[in-house]
Amino acid sequence: MTTTLADDTSVRPTAHSGRRSPLRWAAVAVPSVAAVVYTVLTRGLTGDLHYVLAALRTGRAAGWSPSEVFTHRPFFYRWFVALLDRLAFFGGTAVREAVMNAAGVLLAAAAAYALHTALLRRSTPREAALTAGATGLALALAPRNDFLQPEWTAVVLTVFAVAAALGPRRPWPAALLAALPLGLAVMMKYSTAATAAIGVLLVYAVDWGRAVRVTLVGIPAALALFGLSTFAGTREWQWTEDMPQINQSALSRTGIHPHFILDRTVDFLADRAVTSPVLLLAPGALLLVLTRVRGRLRRTELLVIAALIGLAAQAVVVVQGNWFLYHGAQMPVVAAVVWGVAVGGARRSPPWCFGAVSLLYGALPVVYAQLPGRFQRPWEVWAAGLVALLAAGVDVLCEKRLRNRSAVLVALSGVVLLAASIWPGSPHLVLHGKVTVTGAGYLEQQRRTAEEVDRIAAELPPGAPVLYLAFGETAYDLDHPARCRYPIATFLQRTRYLPDVAELKSFKENADCVDHDPAPYAVLERPWFQPGHVDPELWRRVTAVYDCPPGSPGERLVLCVRR
């Protein structure tokens, strides 16, 4: 049985390794389960998920199905979140979010199990277990910013697709089986086509013939799914055209500026590595993999594939132009895959120096967040990546001198590494190397927002419909029904940045919510909507229908009453 990438038939499971008790691996399994359970109970959901859930819930109360309500997300992703929300139909906010977290973790576990089953046909049991296990943990223990986002969901679907492409013995049935999850991965956000492409490249690294077949079948499948979405949602094509127009930072608006893109990429990757330090181990893991590959041509091929994967992962971030950390949600999962192959496929002895650095970097996010601001700089993060690369180099030089030993301790270091982002003191947001808020700080911000919303809720009759001139976080906490297929006034708010948004058809439909069968109340979030900066005609229509008090200094939300 060969390793997944090495094509090295000299590497086979030894009789000695086969006699080792599986109980050794409980040392890895038990902490993994404990970390996952802790995460399910404490992670909660990020503000972007609150936005989508608020739009779906308040829109559903107004009679709109997920097919017909605007959430700034495509058709299939809306239905994915709506189905998760239906599972969480009981209890308070904390309970419902824990149920959604548990459902997401089960999806990640199912994807990892499918990958493990597929890899067992092509690799040693240890390599299959560590590669699939690292993939599953990277998904289940993803940072709050990533979890259940379209990018994260696309990665889960892509893992299913890779497993389907590599698992069955016959290549064409395997390609057909992989087509649906691969097409759905594209449909999560359209930009997630890059994630699907990364999956195809990973299949290519193992079996190029299957990768070609998956591509030939997957592209028509994605197009068919898009056609289905435009047929099932009456405005899906319109929203597909209009949504890119409300992003003031998109590459289509700003143009291509190579120097800025390069500088920003360097900072972004450092920021992303602070929240997911497994990225710092990726170059070293790639070195470990390449050194056991036979043949210069094969090594060159894998190196080119790795470069293409890196470019595809970063291209998604560059094209969208917002440089949000969750746009790179696929990066730590790919890094975890390479980490698992590097450790699980080790020839003689696990990479102990590399494992020691993995263990230390499990504490990196919490330690980094506590550093004074002057020490939080991107180059220091890149230096940490260099240390990991050097550790891998030491393991390469010393490999022949070490006896074959169990990989359990190194695998355990991987659990610590992948759990790094879930602790309260780990960064929630990082910008240009500076930690702007930790996980605990973010949850505190959410509590303060909920308290302010409670003040507005006390002034509203139970169940009264509301026009939300506020961000999704407010609508999520208030949870009063809307009367519009645009529950969150995103198109209206964007005119504060982009006046030409007022020419879009979706803007006009959104604006009609103000004075066509208007709700008896409106909630105005002044820092977000900013009355003096949105389209003047729009604000005239708002004030003609609603009486909005000026609000006291520092008051973020005000309740407007229909005249």
The candidate with the shortest Cα–Cα distance to 376, out of 331, 427, 422, is 427
pLDDT tens digit string along 472-510? 899 999 999 999 999 999 999 999 999 999 999 999 999
Residue 328 to residue 39: CA distance in whole angstroms: 21
* Dihedral class, residue 159 (left if φ above 0, else alpha if ψ from -120 to 50, else beta): alpha
Res 13 pLDDT > 80: no
Angle between helices 193-206 and 171-187 (to 10 degrees): 160
Residue 415 to residue 51: CA distance in whole angstroms: 31
Residue 21: the pLDDT is 52
464 CA to centre of own chain: 35
Residue 489: the pLDDT is 94
Res 4 pLDDT > 80: no
Contact 252, 244 (CB under 8 A): yes
pLDDT tens digit string along 347-383? 778 899 999 999 999 999 999 999 998 899 999 999 9
Structure tokens at 199: 């999956």
pLDDT tens digit string along 286-306? 999 999 999 999 999 999 999
Q: Which residues contact 198 (CB under 8 A, 6 or more apart)?
A: 158, 309, 312, 313, 330, 334
pLDDT tens digit string along 526-550? 999 988 899 999 999 999 999 998 8
Query: Which residues of 289-433 form beta strands (DSSP E)?
Result: 427-431
Q: Max Cα separation, the chain?
A: 83
DSSP state, residue 253: H
Residue 12: the pLDDT is 43
Question: Structure pTM?
Answer: 0.93
Res 130 pLDDT > 60: yes
pLDDT tens digit string along 77-107? 999 999 999 998 888 899 999 999 999 999 9
Q: Which amino acid is at 386?
A: L
Residue 346: the pLDDT is 82
Res 424 pLDDT > 60: yes
Residue 8: the pLDDT is 47
pLDDT tens digit string along 317-342? 999 989 999 999 999 999 999 999 99
Res 2 pLDDT > 70: no
Structure tokens at 368: 């980094």
The pLDDT > 70 percentage for the chain reads 95
pLDDT tens digit string along 179-188? 999 999 999 9
Residue 89: the pLDDT is 84
C-alpha distance from residue 509 to each of 167, 441, 486, 505, 520 (Å): 48, 37, 8, 6, 19
Structure tokens at 213: 């077949």
Mean pLDDT of 142-148: 96
Q: Which has the higher per-residue pLDDT, 248 or 198?
A: 198
Residue 137 to residue 129: CA distance in whole angstroms: 12
Model confidence at 251, pLDDT cuts 50, 70, 90, reads confident
Residue 266 to residue 136: CA distance in whole angstroms: 27
DSSP state, residue 328: G
Contact 136, 111 (CB under 8 A): yes
Residue 3: the pLDDT is 58
Structure tokens at 152: 């994260």
Residue 512 to residue 492: CA distance in whole angstroms: 10
Residue 23: the pLDDT is 65
Q: Write out the H or E segment, with its range, that includes residue 546.
A: strand 546-547
Residue with tokens 């979030």: 525
Q: Which residues contact 428 (CB under 8 A, 6 or more apart)?
A: 143, 144, 145, 275, 436, 437, 438, 439, 441, 442
Q: Write out the H or E segment, with its range, that includes residue 466.
A: strand 466-469
Structure tokens at 261: 């893109």
DSSP state, residue 488: B
Res 18 pLDDT > 90: no
Contact 530, 469 (CB under 8 A): no
Res 403 pLDDT > 90: no
User: Which residue pairs from 479-483 have beta carbons closer than 8 angstroms and sit at least 24 positions apart in sequence?
Assistant: 479/54, 479/57, 479/58, 480/58, 480/61, 480/521, 481/58, 481/61, 481/62, 482/58, 482/59, 482/61, 482/62, 482/513, 482/519, 483/62, 483/513, 483/517, 483/518, 483/519
Residue 387 to residue 385: CA distance in whole angstroms: 5
The candidate with the shortest Cα–Cα distance to 205, out of 350, 13, 334, is 334
C-alpha distance from residue 503 to each of 166, 303, 355 (Å): 48, 47, 56
Contact 423, 272 (CB under 8 A): no
